[in-house]
Structure 1
Amino acid sequence: MDGSTRDGTRISRLGISRRSALALAAAAPLILSSRTAFAADKLRIGKSVGTSFPFTGADLGLAKGIFASEGIDAEVSVFRGDGQMQQAMAAGAIDIGLGSGPGMGYAVKGVPGIAVAALAGEPRNMSLVVMKDGPIKSVDDLKGKRIGVTTAGSLTDWLTRKLSDGKGWGPHGIEIIPMGEMRTRLAAMKSGELVGSVNSIQETWNLVEQGQGRLLATFAEAVPDFHTHVIFAHRNLIEKNPELVRRFLRGWFKTAHYMRDNRADTVKFIASTMKISEKVIDESYDYELKMLSMDGAFNPKAIETIRYSLKDLGVLDRIPEAKELFMPGFAPVKL
């Protein structure tokens, strides 16, 4: 039964005064607000390169509050290629990585980052550029000609060999010349040392805009079943907090849908982030969006292509089993 203290304050059966109950009721919204404020989980995201249209989705999702809507406090870092990003993963410096399909081979080598979702399919964003007024008019004209790539054993090298093989010329039907940076390859094209170069679609459209180059083809037809980009997660994160991985993936694919449904805003944001003209990004947009995954599902045929590419590229000395390359159970992602 309720009773009274000497000063007349009523006491409940639980021994809590009316004054205390009112104070707790008044403080409840503040307590809930405080909990909400501290609910976001820190997640460190690494981009293997900064000059990638699809990877800029990480910056867009952060800026638009999409990751925040999934309770994620995202931090984005940029690296100089897959190797450096995977080193950061091994050092525990990042939790999530955005990298290339062939980067899946690092998991076989023991690096703790493993693919959990496909980010992009066939390589529509990799292209062949030739001089605007040069002698090459079609892909059929490339037999026996010299094409510039970044480095020997790189993705640009491998794609060119696949193109040559697909034309029935064998993997060496096109003479491949490793030349590093695009400006070096462009100089060689101008001098006639090269007839063309393998570039990102943005680099190619930039040359087109400058009146120097012409888009000959992308590699979508040469390698139709491929995962050009994938999403990696650290095995420790997968083991300790798989739900956080799933929340990140929901945020990522919400961002992918935003990119698809909001062309003008996406073009403006990515142009600003990549420091490239909006015209070049707009020209690239359709190529990029056609290959961008909306749910992260792995294509079994693409996984087979990547298995064999890992030995061809020298990433591994053997052809790995498919189960070594990715972690099932996270994709496809349902929004």
Structure 2
Amino acid sequence: MRKFVSGARKLTKISTVVLAMSACATLAVPTEVSAADASKIIIMVGGITKMIYLPAKLTEQLGYFKDEGLDVELQSQPAGVDAENELLAGAVQAVVGFYDHSIDLQSKGKEVTAIVVFGQVPGEAEMVATKSAGTIKSMADVKGKTLGVTGLGSSTNFLTQYLAAKHGISSTQYSVLPVGADNTFIAAIKQGRIDAGMTTEPTISQLLKTGEASVLVDMRTVEGTVKALGGLYPASSLYVQRSWLNTHKAEAIKLARAFNKTLKYIKTHDATDIASKMPKDYQGKDKVLYVQAMQNSLPMFSADGRMPVGGPETVLQVLAGFNPNVKGKHIDLSKTYTNEFIPQNK
């Protein structure tokens, strides 16, 4: 009997300790903090200073996120594929990157959806180093050359492969080197580490000004993109995981509304006005060059954020032209984007 009472007392003490520990654990994570964390939306941008992703920072600068009652934090990765990985890992809620990732990921069994389309065209150009311009007159001449991309698996990598494949050159017949963007891309050209490479503004204008590279394929305009890719190629966009979208439609509506306002602002203001809204460190040492690069970029942007008609089909056709993950697979394009959250035009 004594042994039974003694054991019961020990169990009572243990239970008391466990309950106390549980209480401490509950107190250690205040509900207010959890709620605050849950309300923040972290958007990863695949290179925040790139002109193709201008709407991300501009929306913040104009105060449109706050106007919608959103707590948004913008972060940056040098390449779109890195931003994509952060999204899939659950570290961020949204990505500002290229729409083509949504098709590529669906072929791998992962679902992401673009809810706002910023760019009707890639806004990129294949630049050939002046030292190599004599031997590279078109993408038909890249056999045996080293081509720069922002990152392996990035949209610049996708487009490079397609443009070469159009001329019958497979990815095994040239080398691809991930060199990032901005200064690291320029350094790769200067140092002769790449013969040509795909990049965006303001890097394109900087290389043209110094004479260190020239444009081989220009996809900054509708005309140039249709010539290179056969149609409109919706590119820079805001995309999220489908699972997040299904449970955060209110936030999706606010994000789409904020970006819709920004795209309308871009269409109703000139490059100088828009540049003045951006952080001074984005402009670098040459403000005139920055404004010129801005001017070169403005035609690429959508007026409202809607997916352009025929755009998804062009992107699918491009990816299927070289990507074994996509070629021959059924892709449900209706799941890769939605116009549901874009405000109706007034």
Give the TM-score taking structure 1 as reference length.
Answer: 0.71
Letter in 1 for 2:306: A
Match of 1:10 in 2: none
Match of 1:114 in 2: 113
Q: CA 1:152–1:242 in structure 2 vs 1: closer, same or farther (change >3 Å)?
A: closer
Letter in 2 for 1:52: K
Match of 1:187 in 2: 191
1:180-259 maps to which residues of 2 (within 5 A)? 180-181=178-179, 182=185, 183-188=187-192, 194=195, 196-219=196-219, 220=225, 221-223=227-229, 224-259=231-266
Q: CA 1:172–1:237 in structure 2 vs 1: closer, same or farther (change >3 Å)?
A: closer
Contact 1:307/1:321 (CA < 8 Å) preserved in 2?
A: no
Structure 2: distance between partners of 1:273 and 1:95:
26
Match of 2:125 in 1: 126
Alignment of 1:94 onto 2:92: yes
Letter in 1 for 2:275: V
Choose 115-124 or 84-93, whichever is displaced more: 84-93
Structure 2: distance between partners of 1:133 and 1:112:
41
Structure 2: distance between partners of 1:313 and 1:278:
40
CA shift, 1:329, in A, is: 2.1
User: Which structure has the larger Rg over C-alpha atoms?
Assistant: 1
Q: CA RMSD in A?
A: 3.5
Deviations 1:66-104 (A, max 9, x none): 222222222212234333323332343322221112211
Give the counterpart of 1:53 among 44, 51, 55: 51
Match of 1:6 in 2: none
Q: CA 1:286–1:163 in structure 2 vs 1: closer, same or farther (change >3 Å)?
A: farther
Contact 1:108/1:325 (CA < 8 Å) preserved in 2?
A: no
CA shift, 1:254, in A, is: 0.9
Give the TM-score taking structure 2 as reference length.
Answer: 0.69
Structure 1: distance between partners of 2:53 and 2:171:
33
Contact 1:205/1:215 (CA < 8 Å) preserved in 2?
A: no
Unpaired stretches in structure 2, ≥5 consecutive residues: 1-35, 180-184, 220-224
Structure 2: distance between partners of 1:67 and 1:53:
19
For these two proteins, the number of residue pairs brought into alignment is 290
Match of 2:155 in 1: 155
Deviations 1:305-333 (A, max 9, x none): 22244442455463523134224523475
Letter in 1 for 2:83: M
**Structure whose residues are more often helix by fraction:** 2
CA shift, 1:273, in A, is: 4.9
Contact 1:97/1:231 (CA < 8 Å) preserved in 2?
A: yes
CA shift, 1:52, in A, is: 1.8
Match of 2:331 in 1: 320
Partner secondary structure for residue 83 of structure 1: helix
Contact 1:123/1:226 (CA < 8 Å) preserved in 2?
A: yes
Partner secondary structure for residue 92 of structure 2: coil
Letter in 1 for 2:209: E
Deviations 1:241-300 (A, max 9, x none): 313211211111211222333321322444735353323322222332211112222234
Structure 2: distance between partners of 1:77 and 1:173:
32
Contact 1:97/1:232 (CA < 8 Å) preserved in 2?
A: yes
Structure 1: distance between partners of 2:110 and 2:164:
33
Structure 2: distance between partners of 1:217 and 1:271:
30
